[in-house]
């Protein structure tokens, strides 16, 4: 009987998603994440990086997922690079609104029309892809405008307009280091991300009140994403990426995974995590 129990545990653990913690201290975090998502019906991609010391965890970190509206960070970055080089201004009128208003709508409310206005002004998806490639981020693809994406037959395994969690973390790391944007533009983009009002039931939902989160959500039928930065109590910043495809209760699972990462990277693994996973209350919206 004991042999059967041990064998069942081994088989269950081997069925968990691929994981690869960068340090022994974070192995328990990654195991908890694998256990969490392994019991769900959908497919999850998760990555987290401590920007102060390079320690990281991931689940299916190299798996491609549709970016949905998380791609809007790249659109904003491409436009702000033009501002940095004096080719465009945040005060430029594009249609009936300023560029600043369009970026704010795109990042805080995930406005699709504002996004496509900016993409067209830049020269199309190909320009944003070129900007990503120049910044050493070929693992992120943008092939279509938002309108084209939404008109296309839904295929959650389409390689177009996709990213892996690891590639998205690379994007966020470049942004944090100031490699893509000058300080004023970087601060401007992070400020807009901190005011994002979508996805309150995702990565922010179970974090302690007052935790600073700068993020961008993405949503399609059957796909839920949330990517950005979490600031820890000691000032360290984590770059995090969550993608969930298929299954049900994706936002709640992302919220639980974000809390697992927060507790694990803060060194408070244990009682807090148990109370989080044991909770049956609804996440804050």
Mean pLDDT, the chain, integer: 89
Which of 47-56, 121-130, 162-171, 268-277 bottoms out in mean pLDDT, i.e. has the lowest?
Answer: 268-277
The model carries a pTM of: 0.87
pLDDT score of 163: 98
Pairing of strands 237-245, 223-231: antiparallel
Residue 283, in any domain of the structure:
no
Which of 40-49, 153-162, 241-250, 261-270 bottoms out in mean pLDDT, i.e. has the lowest?
Answer: 261-270
pLDDT score of 24: 77
Phi, psi (rounded to 5 degrees) for 223: -135, 130
pLDDT bucket at 34, cuts 50 / 70 / 90? very high
pLDDT score of 273: 35
Work out the percent of the chain whose per-residue pLDDT is above 70.
86
Q: What is the DSSP letter of 198?
A: S
pLDDT score of 18: 59
pLDDT bucket at 17, cuts 50 / 70 / 90? low
Residue 100, in any domain of the structure:
yes
Phi, psi (rounded to 5 degrees) for 21: -70, 145
Q: What CATH number is associated with residue 139?
A: 3.40.710.10
Residue 149, in any domain of the structure:
yes
Residue 118, in any domain of the structure:
yes
The candidate with the shortest Cα–Cα distance to 250, out of 40, 75, 65, is: 40
Count of domains observed in the chain: 1
pLDDT (average), residues 100-110: 98
pLDDT score of 2: 41
Residue 5, in any domain of the structure:
no
Residue 8, in any domain of the structure:
no
pLDDT score of 20: 60
The candidate with the shortest Cα–Cα distance to 214, out of 225, 230, 199, is: 230
Residue 37, in any domain of the structure:
yes
Q: Give the span between the Cα atoms of 259 and 34, in whole angstroms.
A: 14
pLDDT score of 284: 30
The candidate with the shortest Cα–Cα distance to 140, out of 173, 108, 162, is: 162
Residue 141, in any domain of the structure:
yes
Question: Over the stretch 134-193, which tens digit does the pLDDT of each residue have?
Answer: 999 999 999 999 999 999 999 999 999 999 999 999 999 999 999 999 999 999 999 999
pLDDT score of 274: 32
DSSP 133-169: HHTT-TTS---S-HHHHHHSPP-TT-STTEE-HHHHH
Q: Give the span between the Cα atoms of 174 and 227, in whole angstroms.
A: 14
Pairing of strands 97-98, 93-94: antiparallel
Pairing of strands 43-50, 56-59: antiparallel
């Amino acid at each position: 009987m004991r042999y059967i129990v041990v064998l069942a545990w081994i088989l269950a653990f081997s069925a968990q998603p691929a994981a690869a913690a960068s340090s022994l201290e974070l192995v328990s975090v990654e195991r908890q994440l694998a256990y969490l998502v392994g019991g769900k019906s959908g497919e999850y991609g998760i990555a987290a990086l401590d920007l102060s010391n390079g320690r990281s965890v991931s689940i299916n970190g190299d798996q491609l997922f549709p970016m949905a509206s998380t791609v809007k960070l790249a659109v904003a970055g491409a436009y702000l690079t033009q501002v940095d080089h004096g080719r465009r201004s945040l005060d430029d009128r594009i249609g009936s609104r300023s560029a600043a208003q369009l970026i704010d709508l795109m990042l805080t409310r995930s406005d699709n029309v504002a996004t496509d206005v900016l993409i067209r002004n830049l020269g199309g998806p190909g320009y944003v892809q070129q900007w990503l490639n120049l910044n050493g981020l070929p693992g992120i693809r943008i092939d279509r405008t938002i309108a084209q994406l939404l008109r296309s037959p839904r295929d959650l395994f389409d390689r177009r307009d996709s990213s892996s969690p690891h590639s998205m973390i690379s994007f966020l790391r470049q942004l944090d280091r100031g490699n893509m944007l000058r300080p004023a533009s970087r601060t401007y983009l992070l400020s807009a991300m901190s005011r994002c009002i979508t996805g309150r039931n995702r990565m922010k939902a179970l974090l302690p009140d007052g935790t600073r989160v700068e993020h961008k959500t993405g949503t399609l039928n059957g796909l839920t994403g949330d990517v950005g930065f979490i600031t820890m109590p000691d000032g360290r910043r984590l770059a995090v990426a969550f993608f969930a495809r298929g299954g049900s209760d994706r936002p709640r699972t992302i919220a639980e995974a974000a809390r697992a990462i927060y507790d694990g990277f803060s060194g408070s693994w244990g009682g807090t995590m148990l109370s989080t996973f044991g909770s049956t209350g609804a996440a804050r919206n």
